[in-house]
């Protein structure tokens, strides 16, 4: 038996934030890191006030070693299982800040390069959208109505999307501020 198998499990409050809402569970695991390495697109909540608020909410409790996961968590488990063992798995996970170049669409559906600065939870801290004609617009949390995670930093596919802080800052400096109207 491996030493991690005898370590006592503790309940961790876990959120899958999908933007307009979220799914919550208590997951019994040996560590918060184990939760993040087992399920894609989740975060372990550590804020004492939030933990206290969910203590008696009757959330489903799941053992991390269960043979079956409940609906909603099962797909996140399967996604992570497909990532684990691939080159680059978890390489970005321990970063306080990561800078990435993603492909997306602006409000009218036109393709843009999205240069994002994200925190350890995968949420945007700042973003620059660079259109095909080279125009760039920057935005930050004050400009967004919602700010769910946009990346899962354990995803091995993200290692090819990383850019330097200098490249991000250069684009940020040249971009015009978004007029969000919020």
Q: What is the pLDDT of residues 134-182, one digit of tens each?
A: 999 999 999 999 999 999 999 999 999 999 999 999 999 999 997 765 5
At residue 5, the pLDDT reads 56
Instruction: Report the pLDDT averaged over residues 108-121.
Output: 92
Instruction: Report the pLDDT averaged over residues 5-25.
Output: 91
Whether residue 73 is found in the same domain as residue 111: no
At residue 1, the pLDDT reads 42
Whether residue 51 is found in the same domain as residue 108: no
Q: Is the dihedral of CA 116, 155, 120, 73 positive or negative?
A: positive
Q: Is residue 91 included in any domain, yes or no?
A: no
Question: What is the count of structural domains for the chain?
Answer: 2
At residue 147, the pLDDT reads 92
At residue 2, the pLDDT reads 47
Rounded CA-CA distance 106/86 in Å is 31
Rounded CA-CA distance 141/123 in Å is 10
Domain with 55 in it: 3-83
Tell which of 26, 60, 83 closes a domain. 83
Rounded CA-CA distance 126/118 in Å is 7
Whether residue 39 is found in the same domain as residue 62: yes
Q: Per-residue pLDDT for 4 more than 70?
A: no
Q: Pairing mode, if any, of strands 22-29 and 61-63?
A: parallel
Q: Which of 89, 104, 71, 72 is nearest to 152 (CA)?
A: 89
Chain position carrying tokens 């307009």: 20
Q: Per-residue pLDDT for 16 more than 80?
A: yes
Whether residue 106 is found in the same domain as residue 37: no
At residue 166, the pLDDT reads 98
Q: Per-residue pLDDT for 47 more than 50?
A: yes
For residue 6, the SS3 value is helix
């Amino acid at each position: 038996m491996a030493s991690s198998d005898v370590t006592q499990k503790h309940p961790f409050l876990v959120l899958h934030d999908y933007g307009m809402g979220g799914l919550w569970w208590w997951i019994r695991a040996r560590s918060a890191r184990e939760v993040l390495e087992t399920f894609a697109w989740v975060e372990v909540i550590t804020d004492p006030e939030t933990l206290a608020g969910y203590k008696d909410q009757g959330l489903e409790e799941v053992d991390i070693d269960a043979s079956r996961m409940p609906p909603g968590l099962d797909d996140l488990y399967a996604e992570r299982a497909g990532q684990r063992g691939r080159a680059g798995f978890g390489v970005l996970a321990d970063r306080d800040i990561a800078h990435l170049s993603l492909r997306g669409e602006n409000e009218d559906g036109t393709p843009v390069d999205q240069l994002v600065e994200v925190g350890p939870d995968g949420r945007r801290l700042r973003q620059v959208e660079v259109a095909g004609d080279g125009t760039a617009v920057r935005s930050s949390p004050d400009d967004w109505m919602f700010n769910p995670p946009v990346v899962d930093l354990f995803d091995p596919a993200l290692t090819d999307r990383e850019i330097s802080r200098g490249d991000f800052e250069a684009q940020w400096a040249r971009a015009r501020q978004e007029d969000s109207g919020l």
